Amino acid sequence: MPVQPQSRDSGQPTGTKAVGADASGAGPEQENPAPPFPDADLMYIADLLPAGERQRYLDIREFLQSRVRAQSIDYWNREEFPFGLLAEMGKRGLGGLQTDGTSKLFKGLMYVEVARADVSLSALVGIHNELIVGMINELGSEEQKRRWLPGLTAFTQLGAFALTEPDHGSDIAGGLASTARLENGEWVINGAKRWIGAGTIADFALVWARDVADQQIKGFIVETDRPGYAATKIANKIGLRIMQNADIVLDDVRIPEANLLPGATDFSKANELLRDSRAWVGWQGAGIQLAAFDVARSYSLQRRQFGRELARFQLIQQQLAEILGNASASLALMVQLARIQEDGRLEMAQAAMAKATTTRLARASVAMGRSLLGGNGISSDFEMGKLFGDAEILYTYEGSYEINSLIVARAVTGKSAFV
């Protein structure tokens, strides 16, 4: 059941305590004709947006719920990419969130709502904005910006962020093995990458390789039609099945010298954007929990057992309240993080804590949702099984839960647990 925008013109939420209810808000047979918070925003988070941004947020949320959410299930089941939906998302500006001048809160809530409709597409939107558009806009040359940004922001072109390798994930900064050498005015790239989102469908990959001359990790634009570039889709994933993750092999791939990102001549230049990308997953963690709540609430109101709706059972109500509580706590954490970002004070430890916390809560929330749906909870046809698988990916990528926890602990103790 798609969420619907809630009117708050009266200054009070609909469905406030009825006459005759006791101090706890409970009444013997109190009924509400519709859920009192149809958008599940008990903390009025969307009201923090400026008026113009809030209306755009509501319009895009309605599109995502009515157009993307239901259609994504078949694509998820088939592990196929919905190019038609991508074009529609591009028309609504979701390819240019990084450069459109809107607030950090608006961008974050857009990530929430795309994740609420489909987590795979939210991964694409987030990586595209934070790591592709962001890297070229901030680290690219003027020519690279002219060449790529118009198509990227319109979602008519895609990039892939090629950092992780088959043997190096959490230790990639120190262990990166892909190499680049400058030879007769061309860079020659060799190596392998793994888990690269959109690697099989992108127009180019932002490849991170170690310059053999100075041993610095640098960023290169590698067009995917160049000889020596090969991408193979990683199949049979339990989650994020719409995202076309790939194994990439780079075998003496030659690119012009000008394809080096001038602002990415050592790995430290990318750290700020990688930090922001880690924070972005925190918004995904909140969005998937709202999706779990939407599905669980709708199911509990429609499904009948023992002659009455599931929503009338105390254990079901407790689970619904806990899922929404987790989601609301996650949103509140991310709102504060957005404020810190706006002030330019975001550190990696804060981003790591946000990502670790919301994805931990997401894992718990979707597990309760799966339980609430009983046997139907394991089927993607009822959506919760899809969310259950996707939550596992959020828990692991952009730094696993464990690695992010160690980053936080290092910041608060001054002691590193890393080798």
Q: For every one of its 419 residues, what pLDDT tens digit does the chain have, with 9 covering 90 and above?
A: 445 434 443 333 333 333 333 445 555 455 655 666 778 999 999 999 999 899 999 999 999 999 999 999 999 999 999 999 999 999 999 999 999 999 999 999 999 999 999 999 999 999 999 999 999 999 999 999 999 999 999 999 999 999 999 988 777 777 899 999 999 999 999 999 999 999 999 999 999 999 999 999 999 999 999 999 999 999 999 999 999 999 999 999 999 999 999 999 888 877 777 888 888 999 999 999 999 999 999 999 999 999 999 999 999 999 999 999 999 999 999 999 999 999 999 999 999 999 999 999 999 999 999 999 999 999 999 999 999 999 999 999 988 899 999 999 999 999 999 76
Helix (H) or strand (E) holding 265: none
169: which 2 tokens?
């994930």
Name the nearest CA neighbour of 111 among 358, 319, 324: 358
Q: What is the largest CA-CA distance in the chain?
A: 84
164: which 2 tokens?
């992780």
Name the residue type at position 338: A
pLDDT of residue 273: 77
Class of domain 269-413 as given by CATH: mainly alpha
**Phi (first) and psi of residue 252, to 5 degrees:** 50, 45
pLDDT of residue 272: 75
Every domain of the chain and the residues it spans: 45-138, 159-266, 269-413
Class of domain 45-138 as given by CATH: mainly alpha
Name the nearest CA neighbour of 58 among 132, 120, 128, 2: 2
**What DSSP letter does each residue of 25-81 carry, written as one string?**
S--SS---SS-S-TT--TT-GGGGS-HHHHHHHHHHHHHIIIIIHHHHHHHHHHT--
pLDDT of residue 277: 83
pLDDT of residue 11: 36
pLDDT of residue 33: 57
pTM of the model: 0.90
- Residues 6 or more apart whose CB falls under 8 angstroms from that of 124 comprise 86, 197, 198, 242, 243
Q: In degrees to the nearest 10, what's the CA dihedral of 144, 203, 246, 267?
A: 0
Looking at domain 159-266, its CATH architecture is Beta Barrel (2.40)
Q: Distance between CA atoms of 145 and 133, rounded to whole angstroms?
A: 9
